[in-house]
Chain A
Amino acid sequence: MLMSYREALNQAMREEMRRDSRIFLIGEEVGYYQGAFKVSKGFVEEFGPQRVVDTPITEAGFTGLAIGAAMAGLHPIVELMTMNFGIVALDQIVNNAAKIHYMSGGQLSVPLVIRGPGSAAHQLGAQHSQSLEAWFCHVPGLKVIAPATPHDAKGLLKSAIRDNNPVIFIEAQLLYGTKGDVGDGEYTIPIGVAEVKRAGHDATIVAYSKMLLLALEAADQLSREGIEVEVIDPRTLKPMDLPTIVASVKKTGRLVIVEEGWHFCGLGAQIAESVYREAFDYLDAPIQRVTGADVPMPYSRPLEDAAIPNKERIIKAVKAMCATP
């Protein structure tokens, strides 16, 4: 059924909260305001303020509280109004959520979802436009998910909620209003499984979150020009489904990785390293990366546009590779 990304997230949480009373939602404006981006619309009415908990503006405090609650057997969903504010809670996420299971020799666990929108929207300035997934992916003990479509968002959020590890679930402000077909009834999508979003044989594009939509647009246009690209959405960034990516590269011989995050030490560098290791002999050209510019996000629209990957840059990268025999 056709549904927005926002509605899909709402449905996933609602179904899970109906199923399991250990699950609660906590964050700024999640209750009576209905969520800063209306993802938790109707929740406080259905589940009450005990399970839909409005907090003061203290990300470290309430994220830490959620981690403690998870240690005692609850399954919290922390909504960060934006992933940028995860930086304020980073000590809790990195030093506590990610490490407690290991440090305790497996005695304690932290079943927790931290979700909210990452990446740039329009002209929100440098502090509200960051793609921090590489930071989270760097930390052992965290799982990181960044779905692009409403169907994937619903199925993966349900899996994240049922997982017994801390899961960082990255949405995007510009995806909330996008619509897509969402499977009927009860379904989940396994964490760590990529999906081939479009089949092709000339080159592979790996893209996730809202960059997937750009990659698919680029693929459409390239197809009209006779270049058939395969587009893969890893969906889960950690653990990443490398076999699916490697299998595609072995078929196409060319790889473009698109990410909105900063270039240096970005996720694409990690994917490239893995592909070079696994499929070096299959590559017909060096791997190309299309990334965000290594700058704090500027406010001015033309500058902002220049800092974020676009369809033209993806097409150019693919063509540059395909020119290589």
Chain B
Amino acid sequence: MDRADLLSLYRQMLLIRRFEEKSAEMYALAKIAGFLHLYIGEEAIAVGAIAALRPDDYAISAYRDHGHCLARGSNPGQVMAELFGKATGLCQGKGGSMHLVDAQRRFMGGYAIVGGHIPLATGLAFATKYQRLDLVTVCFFGEGAVPSGQAHEAFNLAALWKLPVIFICENNRYGMGTPIQRAVALYQDVAESARSYGIEAERVDGMDVLAVRDMMRRVVEPVRAGQGPFFIEAMTYRFMGHSMSDPAHGHYRTKEEVDEQRKRDPLAILKETILSKRLGIEGDFKQLEKDIGEVVAASVKFADESPFPAPSELYNDVLVE
């Protein structure tokens, strides 16, 4: 483990954390509207998984997608501008929070029909196999998507055709306000759903970015080499509400539970590792806070000062000309 590597992972997680906090603030100021689903608490999964990818591998996500997009290296200003609905946003303001796309960075999008993007991931993997490219596709989704029919159809096709896709289930224990034990029959081991199709599956601590990256590094090459798909269940917890319309706790979970879970903060866990291995000092974290604070502030400034799309944009890009 080297210092630069660990601090870089920390920096990426910190960027997501502060970006999300700022998004919530901007939502309160009505700069951002619609649905806004924050990734706070789950940062280690996107950062750890994407750190094990090559830049030309594909990643695709569901609607809680800011973290994956930022971890893929997207420009925070363009992401924030997209949340603001501005012309300078990644998708020129036409996608919004749930539909970020950065094709140049092989981030193939956020999708907001639960389970509906999982077949798309198998398709990306099908294409790379068809094209004889040694690329993998990583597909992020919540545990709430696992019982959906489209997920199962995609698991079956991926296993049947040995497609180079890694399914990453971010198990944050709640599908909106419904706890997993009331939604998923195999709630104690959701990976069984994938195993039942012959997909190898393992569970990882989704609060530990190094554990996530280690597991990904272990599985990505066999998948790349054509040994078929893999399913990772990353155990995590959503520190905030499902979206901006519900509080961090509420009728479906207690404040005590949330407080208890917040003790295992993925940023604190990595920080502790860095400090205990004497690979960094408090001053490093202060400096990162300062740097990221500036990046996030700049993203807001960029978004705020950017123009809204011109009315003439309305009918553009409905069809490819």
Q: Are A91 and B150 in contact (CB under 8 A)?
A: yes
- Shortest Cβ distance from B133 into A: residue: A72
**Is A141 a contact of B319 with CB atoms below 8 Å?**
yes
A70 adjacent to chain B (CB < 8 Å): yes
Q: Which residue of A lies closest to B316 (CB)?
A: A106
**Interface 0/1 of A88-117, CB less than 8 Å to B:** 000110011000111111111101000000
B306 interface contact, C-beta 8 A: no
Chain A positions within 8 Å of B113 at CB level? 91, 95
Distance, CA A56 to CA B154, complexed state (A): 11
Q: Are B127 and A72 in contact (CB under 8 A)?
A: yes
Q: Which residue on chain B has the smallest CB distance to residue A140? A: B318
Q: Which of B92, B122, B318 contacts A68 (CB 8 A)?
A: B122
A141-B318 CB under 8 A given contacts A67-B120, A96-B111, A96-B120? yes
Tell whether A24 pairs with B130 under 8 Å between CB atoms, given A72-B123, A96-B116. yes
Q: Which of A56, A66, A74, A106 has the most CB of B within 10 A?
A: A106
Q: A63 an interface residue at 8 Å Cβ cutoff?
A: yes
Within 8 Å by CB of B94, from A64, A70, A102, lies A102
The residues in B between 102 and 129 inclusive whose CB is less than 8 angstroms from any CB of A are: 102-104, 108-109, 111, 113, 116-128
Q: Assess whether A60 is in contact with B153, with CB atoms less than 8 Å apart.
A: yes
Separation of A131 and B99 alpha carbons in the complex (Å) = 32
Contacts of B154-171 to chain A: CB distance below 8 A: 154, 156-157, 160
B316 to A: closest C-beta gap in Å: 7
Chain B residues in 8 Å Cβ range of A100: 109
Interface residues on A, range: 35 or more
Q: Does B109 contact A64, Cβ atoms closer than 8 Å?
A: no
Q: How far is the CB of A77 from chain B (nearest CB, A)?
A: 14
- Are A105 and B91 CB-contacts (below 8 A) given A67-B119, A69-B127, A165-B320? yes
CB distance from B271 to the nearest CB of A (A): 36
Given contacts A71-B120, A100-B109, A102-B318, contact A108 B127 (CB under 8 A): no
B interface residues, tally (CB under 8 Å): 44
Given A60-B153, A102-B317, decide whether A74 and B130 contact each other with a Cβ distance below 8 A. yes
A92 touches B116 (CB 8 A): yes
Q: Distance (Å) between the CB of A69 and the closest chain B CB?
A: 4
Q: How far is the CA of A161 from the CA of B116 in the complex (A)?
A: 24
Contact B91 A65 (CB under 8 A): no
B40 within 8 A of A: no
Query: Could you tell me if A71 and B123 are in contact, using CB atoms closer than 8 angstroms?
Result: yes
Q: How far apart are the CA atoms of A24 and B320 in the complex, in Å?
A: 21
Contact among B90, B104, B128 for A105, CB-based, below 8 A:
B90
A164 within 8 A of B: yes
Chain B residues with Cβ under 8 A from A92's Cβ? 116, 119, 150
B161 to chain A: closest residue by CB = A53
Distance in angstroms between the alpha carbons of A309 and B208 in the assembled complex: 65
Nearest A residue to B109 by beta-carbon distance? A104
Determine if B95 is an interface residue (Cβ-Cβ < 8 Å): yes
CB contacts (< 8 Å) of A164 on chain B: these are: 320
A107→B124 contact, CB < 8 A: no
A-B contact pairs, 15 of them (CB 8 A): A24-B130, A60-B119, A61-B154, A65-B119, A67-B119, A91-B116, A102-B94, A103-B94, A104-B94, A104-B95, A104-B99, A105-B90, A105-B93, A105-B94, A165-B319
Top 4 closest A-B pairs, CB basis? A68-B123, A64-B119, A61-B153, A72-B127
